[in-house]
Amino acid sequence: MRDEIRQQPETLERTLKEERSRAQGLRRQFERNPPRLIVLAARGTSDNAAQFGRYLLEISTGIPVSLAAPSVFTLYRSKVKLADTLVVAISQSGESTDTNLVLEEAKAAGAFTVGITNESESTLARLAEHAFLVRAGKEKSVAATKTYTGQLLCFYLLAHALGAAVAPSDLERVPEWTRDALLLEESIRNRAERYCFMRHAVCVGRGLNYSNSFEFALKLMETCYVVAERFSSADLLHGPIAMLEPSFPAFLFCPPGVTWRPMCELLAKLQSIGAETLAITDRSNPHVAGTQGVTEKPLTIPAEISRPGVLPEEIYTPIPYIIPGQLFAASLAEVKRLDPDRPRTLSKVTQTL
């Protein structure tokens, strides 16, 4: 797992280099036939990537995006009306049974289909009319890391294809920012020791980093056996915050931009409870100094990632921001003397209907 976390800058560089032309070709096609609706189908880590895709595509293109409920297709056998719809299936292996069935049914219903997968010879790659390939190489660890960030990068390329103002020059900097995030590895390894006996936690994000709260929590659950709940800052305040008490661990994604104020307000609330808070941010956040007294020292990526003048300015933070979460899960598993590559009862490819 740790080796594959470190491989992410190169994976992202390969994916961007090889898949950029595919995005340009799709952009011309969508200029002629823009979709009225986008539906995303996935499970597990890929579903967390889809959650990011939903925010990115709606924010940057204005096209409504829905997350598919595969059981509607697989168990209830409903015929969903998908004409003039773009249906995107996301799967690391490309062999997720229910995700592929959604794609097959969508094609039959008249949808235009796109796949995002790490396996060029997979069923998903064959079914989709167009497939973005995550160039991650073989992912050996059960805990997906490099394929998750590769999928996020493919969503940026899809947004570009749909006419969004996603700057190719900024995408070229994403691998560099990921390398900067990896510089926190030793610091995170040391800080993970404090959480050796952690059994419960909450992971909190908002907007474009909401998906990272799901992905960080999933990594804590599957590699460290921590019961990790995931919330937006707004949803946490709508009731679940009642379960938090002194020393309860809370992990927060705190980029600058429009989500900073609600996240900062939540940090203050958690401080009043006495919760154990750890924030992930980057050097471009001008407000970090003001968090002293309301949180432990943040995990600050040593890079200027926010894009002032670009809306939203935190648009490129999600990929580098998940790296500290991945490293923390790997380090905590090590502290707990668990093998994150072989979680109990799990296998690399999960097939469900």
Q: Can you list the domains of the chain with their CATH numbers?
A: 2-168 (3.40.50.10490), 175-335 (3.40.50.10490)
Taking 70 as the threshold, does the pLDDT of residue 346 lie above it? Answer: no
| pLDDT for position 353 | 61
Provide long-range contacts, Cβ within 8 A and 24+ apart, for 25-29.
Answer: 26/114, 26/130, 26/158, 26/161, 27/160, 27/161, 27/162, 27/163, 29/161
Residue 84 · residue 36 · CB < 8 Å: yes
| pLDDT for position 310 | 74
| pLDDT for position 184 | 97
Mean pLDDT of 245-266: 93
Mean pLDDT of 295-305: 88
Residue 127 · residue 115 · CB < 8 Å: yes
Taking 80 as the threshold, does the pLDDT of residue 287 lie above it? Answer: no
pLDDT per residue over 212-234, tens digit each? Answer: 999 999 999 999 999 999 999 99
Distance CA 39, CA 54 (A): 9
Largest CA-CA distance found in the chain, in angstroms, rounded: 57
| pLDDT for position 345 | 67
Mean pLDDT of 23-38: 95
In angstroms, the Cα distances linking 45 to 96, 109, 152, 276 are 12, 27, 11, 26
Q: What's the mean per-residue pLDDT of the chain?
A: 92
User: Which pLDDT band holds residue 285 (cuts at 50, 70, 90)?
Assistant: confident
pTM of the model as a whole: 0.94
User: Which pLDDT band holds residue 352 (cuts at 50, 70, 90)?
Assistant: low
| pLDDT for position 40 | 98
* Radius of gyration (C-alpha) of the chain in whole angstroms: 19
| pLDDT for position 242 | 86
Residue 125 · residue 102 · CB < 8 Å: no
Mean pLDDT of 246-262: 94
Taking 60 as the threshold, does the pLDDT of residue 290 lie above it? Answer: no
User: Which pLDDT band holds residue 316 (cuts at 50, 70, 90)?
Assistant: very high
Taking 90 as the threshold, does the pLDDT of residue 23 lie above it? Answer: yes
Backbone dihedral angles phi then psi of residue 74, each to the nearest 5 degrees: -85, -40
